[in-house]
Amino acid sequence: MMFQFDKILYCTDLSQGSNECFKYAAFLAKKTGAEIHVLHVVEKLSSDARMALESYVMNSEQRAEMLGSRKRQAKAKLETKQEDFWAQVSDPEDLAVRKQIKSINIIESFPMEAILKNSREREVDLIVMGTHEKGFVETFLGSVARNVLARSRIPVLVVPLKERKR
């Protein structure tokens, strides 16, 4: 018995090990012919952070520019990660999977909510995301994966990410 996936939502946190997670999404897309939709969520600022911006950044235009730059930086990093990933692929059949990427989205929201909403709106069959092993930031990201797993109505493939040694 084979599972058939038509649409895969690959969620990335843009961490160092995230391309390892993308390999799973690409492999499954290659095997099933599924579309890949890439999503990165820039977490919304807390009300305290927004208040600090209002206190220390002079005007609303400057604040809007600062907030907009977060998404632009994430987009640039995601594009670089994708280019790096595909530059390491040499097999023509594997390279063909790149054409199965149908969308790349960067949104500002709360990660778990955005992932679940995006999966419903796109009517995806599978969510692929990574989780980290330890540390405060990693624990937070791991909690996103746990919450998505707990609330998703479709299968979720959670890939343990290992950060490279520096």
Residue 100 located in a structural domain: yes
| pLDDT confidence of residue 47 | 80
Residue 1 located in a structural domain: no
**Residue 166: is its pLDDT beyond 50?**
no
Confidence of residue 90 (pLDDT cuts 50, 70, 90): very high
pLDDT digits (tens, 9 = 90+) for 110-156: 999 999 999 999 999 999 999 876 554 454 456 889 899 999 999 99
Residue 80 located in a structural domain: yes
Residue 28 located in a structural domain: yes
Residue 165 located in a structural domain: no
Q: Which domain holds residue 26?
A: 7-160
**Residue 49: is its pLDDT beyond 60?**
yes
As a whole number, mean pLDDT of residues 21-43 equals: 96
Residue 42 located in a structural domain: yes
Residue 124 located in a structural domain: yes
Number of domains in the chain: 1
Residue by residue, DSSP assigns the chain as -----SEEEEE----TTHHHHHHHHHHHHHHH--EEEEEEEEEPPPHHHHHHHHHHS-SHHHHHHHHHHHHHHHHHHHHHHHHHHHHT---HHHHGGGGGEEEEEEEEE-HHHHHHHHHHHHT-SEEEEEE--SSHHHHHHHHHHHHHHHH-SS-EEEEEP-PPP-
Q: Which of 13-17, 58-62, 95-99 has the lowest mean pLDDT?
A: 58-62
**Residue 72: is its pLDDT beyond 70?**
yes
In percent, the amount of the chain with pLDDT more than 70 equals 89
Mean pLDDT score across all residues of the chain? 88
Residue 31 located in a structural domain: yes
| pLDDT confidence of residue 27 | 97
Q: What CATH code is carried by the domain that includes residue 33?
A: 3.40.50.620
As a whole number, mean pLDDT of residues 82-110 equals: 96
